Structure 1
Amino acid sequence: MITFFNAKHVHHQGAVEMFRGALLPCFEVAARVERVRDELRRRRLGAIEEPSPFDDAVSHRVHAPRYVDFLRGAWDEWVALNPAHENRDALPSVWSVRHFSFDVGTPLTRGAWRAARSGAACALSAAESVRSGAAQSAFALTRPPGRYSGYDFFGGYCFLNNAAIAAQALRDGGVERVAVLDVDYYHGNGTQCLFYDRDDVFFMSIHGDPRTEYPFFLGYADEEGAADGNGCNLNIPLPRGTEFSAWRAALAHGLRAIAGFRADAFVVSLGVDTFEADPISGFRLRSEDYLRVGEDLARAGLPTVFMMEGGYAVDEIGVNVANVLEGFEACRS
């Protein structure tokens, strides 16, 4: 497996976020991907490379051009309002009827655009390596994550939707049917919105029940797609406290649905905040369980692009992500 690492992620580090009524230090920190990179190196799980450059217009295949323009210039506009903003992250606090952000938990920093743009490059490089046949599987190791960002909005720590950008690149490169499997603890509302009315991309998510878990307004089991995409969206919400046996049964159900869709390639939004010690999530998977997750994903037998998403137990994140990839590679060899 080849890994594309976003070295520019360090330019984005929020100071605080709003989490369930409290202003707290950000959970989405630089050490997350660095721990994963170090563990991949330790286990020698394939080459780690820089992504190839790309034109921002590629992002317009997924995101609104005006939204991409906003992200590119938002920090300069923020500082122009008041020079004191130079040392203060931008957190949205007032909404018009339609705003670019949907929560108050995603600080927009000086380096957010630079980090997010390089993350999209990782997604595109990983997708191209798989599409071209240069690799059967690839991993975009990047932060900030991407799955909550939609056509013209950010939130949930996410600015550009890396999984959707990869899926669209596969389609544009001639792959007829793409499946996006989201295994993060929280529902990937942005990815769902981007493909909800399409029949060429199947979106499937296992996540905490949105009646009690973020993002609350999407992720319910009755959301099955619309128009041409009817039947191409599958949500499996599970209660807080779910252990691996029940979670794995949900994964098996989702993989059967993806097989029925007859996907030609696979994008996996790989969040490991399903871990039992994750500080902001509620499932009960253990580190050894992630080996089994990787094996189950490998049995789908599809060219696969992995996308780094959530996971906030920093001390264990490297082991948990590497276990998924090691289990996947062992089953494929």
Structure 2
Amino acid sequence: MKVAHSALHARHDGGKELHRGELVPCFEMPVRADYILKAVERAGFNVSEPRPFALESLLRVHDAHFVEFLRTAHEEWRAAGKEGFMLPSGFPARSLRRDHIPSGINGKMGYYAFDASTPIVEGTWEAAFAAAQCALTAAAWVAEGDKSAYALCRPPGHHAGYALYGGYCFLNNAALAAQYLRDHGFARVAVLDVDYHHGNGTQDIFWERSDVLFVSIHGSPETEYPYFLGYADERGEGAGEGYTRNFPLPRGTTWKEYGPTLSAAMDVIGGFSPDALVVSLGVDTYEGDPISSFKLATSHYPLIGQRLAELKLPTVFVQEGGYAVDDIGTNVAGVLEGFLSRR
């Protein structure tokens, strides 16, 4: 399996996040990708730099003004006399206007962000754009005939919406991969999100579309981030009605409950009859993850990969979360090796 990865991910480093009432160093850190890289190299995968894709490729799933904000945000921050990392301090919540984008950098930041746990630093744009190019490269490999490919993306992407960032995510790498496949001969694409946290951004992007099915297994928003999306009754709208399916699970979920839920999600995907699959691969479902509450063991990740292989679809894996850094590489490689063992 080919792997797309860029060392530029390390440019996104040094910020802090507001986590449960405290300003702390980010759980989403460069060493995450370093551990995964070592694991996939040990497994014998072929790691390559991503192809150069134009900025305009991002506009297939993101708003142009939003992309320009991300590209220039830290430059504007410095121009306003600020230093260090950026976090928003106000948001257009209920009863506040959402139809006007403020001209000042603090207002713009709050307009486009939905949390205070996703700092922007000087190198954030460079890292995020490189991650997007990794996803597009992996999708291109599959479009050109590879049966599967893996985008080792950092920062992750599934919380980033059409014009929204948060949850450590700036550009939606999985959505970009799915759209690339749609644009290159795959009429129907399924996105399966197995990250612990609901992929609210991917759901947002494909909410009104019937050509891309979005299916997510995640911690219940009753208690888990991002809290305000991911309920089972969210099923799409307009042409997209029925093409979003959520499987929220409670804290403490083990493989006993997770395995049948994965099978149910795969049944939904099979009923859609897609031409290709994109997997938002988060391994923060692991029992040792510091910010998540499922109880999957390392031995379960190859089983996930084996189950996904049963769909017999061209598949792009896109890296999302996973914050138990000592084990993240082993768990990611377990999914990929399990998948290949059944292909």
- Please tell me the TM-score bracket, short chain as reference: over 0.9
Query: Displacement of 1:16 after TM fit?
Result: 1.1
CA deviation string 1:233-291 (max 9, x = no partner): 11000000000121111110000000000000000000000000000000000001001
Residue number in structure 1 paired with 2:86: 90
Residue number in structure 1 paired with 2:101: none
CA contact (8 A) 1:123 1:307 kept: yes
CA contact (8 A) 1:196 1:229 kept: yes
Query: Displacement of 1:94 after TM fit?
Result: 1.7
In 1, the alpha carbon distance for the partners of 2:191 and 2:58 equals: 18
Query: Displacement of 1:15 after TM fit?
Result: 2.5
Residue number in structure 2 paired with 1:122: 134
In 2, the alpha carbon distance for the partners of 1:14 and 1:275 equals: 25
**Identity percentage of aligned residues:** 53
SS at match of 1:258: helix
Q: Which is further off, 226-235 or 88-97? A: 88-97
In 2, the alpha carbon distance for the partners of 1:215 and 1:108 equals: 19
Give the AA of the match of 2:52.
Answer: P
Q: 1:112 aligns with which of 124, 134, 146?
A: 124
Residue number in structure 2 paired with 1:33: 33
Corresponding position: 1:196 with 2:195: no
Query: Displacement of 1:14 after TM fit?
Result: 3.6
SS at match of 2:112: coil
CA deviation string 1:12-59 (max 9, x = no partner): 014310011111111000010110110111121x21000000111110
Q: 2:169 aligns with which of 146, 153, 158?
A: 158
TM-score, structure 1 length as denominator? 0.97
Q: Write the mapping of 1:59-70 to structure 2, written as runs, cut at 5 A.
A: 59-70=58-69
Query: Displacement of 1:95 after TM fit?
Result: 2.3
Residue number in structure 2 paired with 1:241: 252
CA deviation string 1:271-313 (max 9, x = no partner): 0000000000000000010010010011110000000000000
Query: Displacement of 1:170 after TM fit?
Result: 0.5
Query: Displacement of 1:331 after TM fit?
Result: 1.0
In 2, the alpha carbon distance for the partners of 1:6 and 1:273 equals: 22
In 2, the alpha carbon distance for the partners of 1:40 and 1:169 equals: 24
SS at match of 1:268: strand
In 1, the alpha carbon distance for the partners of 2:164 and 2:230 equals: 17
CA contact (8 A) 1:175 1:265 kept: yes
Query: Any runs of at least 4 consecutive aligned residues in structure 1 with deviations exceeding 6 A, and if so which?
Result: none
SS at match of 1:288: helix
In 1, the alpha carbon distance for the partners of 2:147 and 2:236 equals: 29
Give the AA of the match of 2:78.
Answer: V
In 2, the alpha carbon distance for the partners of 1:244 and 1:302 equals: 24
Give the AA of the match of 2:121.
Answer: T
Q: Write the mapping of 1:114-193 to structure 2, written as runs, cut at 5 A.
A: 114-133=126-145, 135-193=146-204
In 1, the alpha carbon distance for the partners of 2:308 and 2:14 equals: 33
Q: CA RMSD in A?
A: 0.8
Give the AA of the match of 1:72.
Answer: R
In 1, the alpha carbon distance for the partners of 2:16 and 2:70 equals: 19
Q: Write the mapping of 1:13-32 to structure 2, written as runs, cut at 5 A.
A: 13-32=13-32
CA deviation string 1:81-126 (max 9, x = no partner): 11xx33x200011224441100000001101100000111101100
In 1, the alpha carbon distance for the partners of 2:147 and 2:30 equals: 28
Residue number in structure 2 paired with 1:279: 290
Residue number in structure 2 paired with 1:267: 278
Q: Which is further off, 27-36 or 92-101? A: 92-101
Residue number in structure 2 paired with 1:256: 267
Residue number in structure 2 paired with 1:8: 8
In 2, the alpha carbon distance for the partners of 1:281 and 1:270 equals: 15
CA contact (8 A) 1:146 1:157 kept: yes
In 2, the alpha carbon distance for the partners of 1:184 and 1:43 equals: 22
Any gaps of 5 or more consecutive residues in structure 2?
99-110
Give the AA of the match of 2:222.
Answer: R
Aligned residue pair count: 327
Residue number in structure 1 paired with 2:76: 77
Query: Displacement of 1:66 after TM fit?
Result: 0.4
In 1, the alpha carbon distance for the partners of 2:203 and 2:276 equals: 17
Give the AA of the match of 1:76.
Answer: E
TM-score, structure 2 length as denominator? 0.94
CA contact (8 A) 2:279 2:315 kept: yes
CA deviation string 1:164-193 (max 9, x = no partner): 000001001121000000000000000001
